[in-house]
Every structure is written in structure tokens, then in C-alpha cells.
Structure 1
Amino acid sequence: MPGEPLSQQDIEDRLAELPGWSLDDGRLTRGYRLASHVAATAMVVHIAQVQEELDHHSDLTLGYDTVSLSVHTHSAGGAVTEKDLELARRVEDLAAGHGAH
């Protein structure tokens, strides 16, 4: 069952609690820089585990020492839903443990 699309105001209010995250072309986005390629790869694996647990997946990009995410809810017509914000919060919670900034 798709989540309900959130209003622009709801998204903006919630993004205030997620430093570094933004709304870009209808998607929640965030990029991180890490100390090395191995550190970035480890973070990608950890994010993939969280995505499997939530059954909600982002576009996830691994660079040399960077990780980027972009997410919206396909089943809600590409809108941002609570599922996207939950994924963003979970990723933000794990990022510090990987030394991401």
C-alpha cells in the first residue's frame, strides 16, 4: 500500500530535522563524503541493509569517497511520503558511525 504524499510544508518541516538533506526535483537527496573508498563502500552496504529492512529503496550512488542518495515513493506517484523521511532519518543515524560528513 503506498504512503500518502506529504505536503510541501510537511516536507520542509521534517527536513529541518535532517541536516544536509534537501528536496531536489521532487526527491529527497543527500550526499556524504567519507575518508576512503572502503569507508564509502561500507556505508553503502549498511544503507542497503536498512533499505531491505524498510522494504523501501533509494537511488544509491557510490563514488570514490562519496555516497549519494535520492529517494521518493514510486507507488505514490513519485511523491515524497513518510517512508522516504524514515529512510532519510535512518541513513542520517548511521552516517556518523561511518565517519560521513
Structure 2
Amino acid sequence: MSITANTLATSRCAHQVTALDEAAIAQHIAALPEWKIDGGKLARSFAFKDYYQTLAFVNAIAWIIHAEDHHPDLAVSYNRCGVKFDTHSVNDGKGGLSINDFICAAKVDAVFAQRNAS
């Protein structure tokens, strides 16, 4: 079965203890072309017209990531929001990337796409 942004976005996070290997990471990131691996984290930067739109986006994704119980690092400025996901519980607490990071990234992309379509 092919991994797509839609299948990721409609999936739910579950507790993970094993990190994805390099081949699985490559398959998952192919479905999310705007995302990159940065310092071992799944990262993307989003641009906005102004601070109000940036904060509206942050609030919208906060709702979703809280429901998934998988929280990213956020860097918020006037017209930009950086989002970085990783999973602290994998690899015996050493961290890494899990399916949850890609699920939440796809959900964040869906929020961004919806905001731009409005």
C-alpha cells in the first residue's frame, strides 16, 4: 500500500516505542514533500501575511495536535511558524521519528491548505 498525505492525515496517533528506519522515513517523507529532516526532526516552515494569521494557524494546529497527544516544537514570529516533530518515547527514550510525526505533519499541512483555500 502506498503512503499518501491523505492516508496519513486520516490516521490517528498511537503510542510508539520503535523509531522508523531510514527506508520507512524516506517512504513517509515522500508523501509530504514540503517537509524536511532537520537535526533528526521532521520540520517545515509556514509563511503568513501577518501576525494574526500566524497565531490563528498556531491555534488551529494546537487543537489537532493536542487531540493526537503528539506535540511539536513551534517557533512563532510575526509572519512565520516553524514546526518540528519528533518522538521522545522511541529508541528507549533516546528519540527519533515515528509514524506519529508524519501523521501530525500531514494534519498540519491539511490545516494550512484549508486556511489558504478560504
- In structure 2, the partner of 1:93 is 110
Normalising by the residue count of structure 1, what TM-score does the alignment of the two structures yield? 0.91
Alignment of 1:71-86 (within 5 A): 71-76=85-90, 77-86=94-103
Q: Which structure has the larger Rg over C-alpha atoms?
A: 2
- The CA RMSD measured in Å over matched residues stands at 1.4
User: Contact 1:6 / 1:81 at 8 angstroms: preserved in 2?
Assistant: yes
**SS in structure 2 at match of 1:5:** coil
User: Contact 1:50 / 1:90 at 8 angstroms: preserved in 2?
Assistant: yes
**SS in structure 2 at match of 1:39:** helix
Match of 2:34 among 20, 40, 51: 20
Q: Percent identity?
A: 29
**4+ residue segments displaced more than 6 Å:** none
Uncovered stretches (5+) of structure 1, i.e. residues with no partner: none
In 2, Cα distance between equivalents of 1:16 and 1:2: 21
Equivalent position amino acid for 1:68 in 2: G
Deviation at 1:55, TM superposition (A): 0.4
In 2, Cα distance between equivalents of 1:93 and 1:48: 13
**SS in structure 2 at match of 1:68:** strand
